[in-house]
Amino acid sequence: MDSICDWFAADSARQYLAEDKLIENYYSNEVAELGVVPIVVSYVGNGKGKGLVATQDIAAGGRIFNERAAFAMQNMDNHPLARVCGVCLAFLGNKNNTMGNKDNNSSVEIAAVAHLLRRSLTPREIAAVNDAFAAAGLAKHEALDLSCFVEGNDTEMTKTCSTRYCSIECRNYDLRNGHARICPARVEHVDTFIEHATSTNESFLLALKVYAAVAERVASLGLSSPDLSAQEQLKRALWPFRLFAKDYWWNICQPDLDSSAEELTLALKSILKESSQYLKYIFANVPQLTPILTVEFYSLIMGIFEQNNVSLVNPSPVLSIIENLSLTDKILQSKILESVSQLMPENDCYSEHHHDHGSHNGGHSHSHSHGHDYEDDDDRSEDPFEVLDALVAEGNGLHTIHATINHSCTPNAMVFKDASTLVPNNVSKSETKIRNGSTIVIAIKDIKAGEEITVSYLDEGAVNEYDEDEDVEEEKEIDEDHIAWRAMSLKEYGIRKCECPKCAPPQA
């Protein structure tokens, strides 16, 4: 059924003109969820479709909004290093109940160290962690460690589900979005799906979450609006996801159609076909989903992640402990460092352990600095603290409002995903403090009401470098190279012709 694909991936501009009010209302509700923030999603034209626009003047350095991912996942090879919530990527505590959690030994920090060491801490080690915290003057964090089963609500389970939650709120969120339909402990074939995704493309795991959420929406529409046709129910259930969709995965992955294009399309089709086979088994009891369990539709869902995903990084609480442990417990410190180096994914190298899924990552390289200044590579390789750079939770997420921000080569805002992203001089470090897999968007220039808010999808450092005042001739030369580099790099974000003020200045 091609028509559902055409409808789903209607180009943003056409879609906007046809459904103006519907889309605007949807986004104004989503913006309201973020709290009082000076933004609106609207049609910005110039071939860009929709974008984010300031509704008030925003001073440089000001936080515009922060947003939790609608769907997030931890990268598979990061599991040994960080035990985090399946919804928000916050580090888990070590209490599995919802009773008062004020015990000193149940903090997120102790749970994180225990996870790295693969065992419970001895009372002496617990005391050392607590002392390290006191020495650093840091507050400890409490969080739960909940399974997906709600007491009194349990269905029969033959296996276990590894998804855990840091709070009841996160667990409820996942259950509302259909977790029970894709829980390996309750549903057959989910394990095989996950295995296949892990060995081919982990974004399939996010796609699975989207299918589960659509199934949940279809089921509740079936109850609330039984008179609607099955197709209408499906379209309504899919509607919000449609606002992310632009193109087929196989088109996005190969912006330059060359001789290898056909080969790549075939390879992608083949893994989509395998993966969609498992999807069909998993959702066999939701017949309304049949039209979207095709390779074509699956390719549109994967295209969503390719163009909108934000890579997320959450620094481990162990980072702040470990440096202060040296004062109190050298032995525990070296045990942790040794364990981290054993658990590190193979070939992971210094400050380059993020996974580029071709994602819209807001233009940030991860730079983790834990107070160790390395003079050069040789020093680094001898420094046991080097392994700390792998000690973060890493994942990917899809954010509703964030995904409406367009790229500019002269951006007026910047995205922060973790406390160690390089902070420009005019932004206070305290503005960028985040936890729990959310992103923060901060103004880096004064923004006037009515102006579009833009970020750079490319490497921030590189853009700034070329913005500096240089010798005019030299700058011209650099600019020409840089324009070519930008044009090429932007293609993988679905931008064939950049419509920012620098690349397409307004005509006089």
Which residues of the shown chain bind ligand SAM in the complex (CB under 6 A)?
12, 47-51, 246, 307-308, 360, 403-404, 406-408, 493-495, 498-500
Q: Coil, helix or strand for 74? A: strand
Smallest separation (angstroms) from ligand SAM to the CB of 243: 7
Residue 17 C-beta: closest distance to ligand SAM, Å: 12
CB of 360 to ligand SAM, least distance (A): 5
Cα end-to-end span (Å), the chain: 47
Q: What is the DSSP string of 234-250?
A: HHHHHHHHHTT--S-HH
Pairwise CA distance, residues 347 & 329, whole Å: 30
Q: How many helices (H) and strands (E) does the chain have?
A: 16, 10
The least distance separating ligand SAM from the CB of residue 22, rounded to whole angstroms, comes to: 15
Which of helix, strand or coil describes residue 61? coil
Q: Which is nearer to ligand SAM, 177 or 309 (CB)?
A: 309
Residues 6 or more apart whose CB falls under 8 angstroms from that of 38 comprise: 54, 55, 56, 58, 64, 449
Query: Smaller CB distance to ligand SAM: residue 255 or 291?
Result: 255
Residue 180's identity, in one-letter code, is A
CB closer to ligand SAM out of 49 and 315: 49
Nearer to ligand SAM by Cβ, of 289 and 312: the residue is: 312
CB of 384 to ligand SAM, least distance (A): 40
Q: How many of the other CB atoms lie within 10 Å of CB of 480?
A: 10
CA-nearest of 64, 151, 123 to 432 is 64
Tell me whether residue 327 or residue 504 sits nearer to ligand SAM (CB atom). Answer: 504
Least CB distance from residue 503 to ligand SAM, whole Å?
7
Q: Which is nearer to ligand SAM, 85 or 498 (CB)?
A: 498
State which H helix or E strand residue 192 sits in.
Answer: helix 190-199
Q: Which is closer to ligand SAM, CB of 421 or CB of 454?
A: 454
Query: 385: exposed, middle or buried (C-beta count within 10 Å: 0-12, 13-18, 19+)?
Result: middle
> In whole angstroms, how close is the CB of 44 to ligand SAM at the nearest point?
7
| C-beta closer to ligand SAM: residue 187 or 500 | 500
Structure tokens at 135: 């020495």
Comparing CB distances to ligand SAM, the nearer of 72 and 126 is 72
Residue with Cβ nearer ligand SAM (213 or 398): 398
Amino acid at position 326, single letter:
S
3-state secondary structure 328-368: HCHHHHHHHHHHHHHHCCCCCCCCCCCCCCCCCCCCCCCCC
Q: How far apart are CA 14 and CA 473, in angstroms?
A: 42
**What is the C-alpha R_g of the chain?**
24
CA distance 51 to 452: 7
Measured from the CB atom, the residue of 324 and 406 that comes closer to ligand SAM is: 406
Burial, 86: exposed, middle or buried (Cβ in 10 Å; 0-12, 13-18, 19+)? buried
Least Å distance, CB 493 to ligand SAM, is 5
Helix, strand or coil, per DSSP, at residue 380: helix
Partner residues linked to 312 by β-bridges: 395
Burial class (CB in 10 A: 0-12, 13-18, 19+), 310: buried
Considering the complex, what minimum distance in angstroms separates the CB of residue 396 from ligand SAM?
Answer: 14
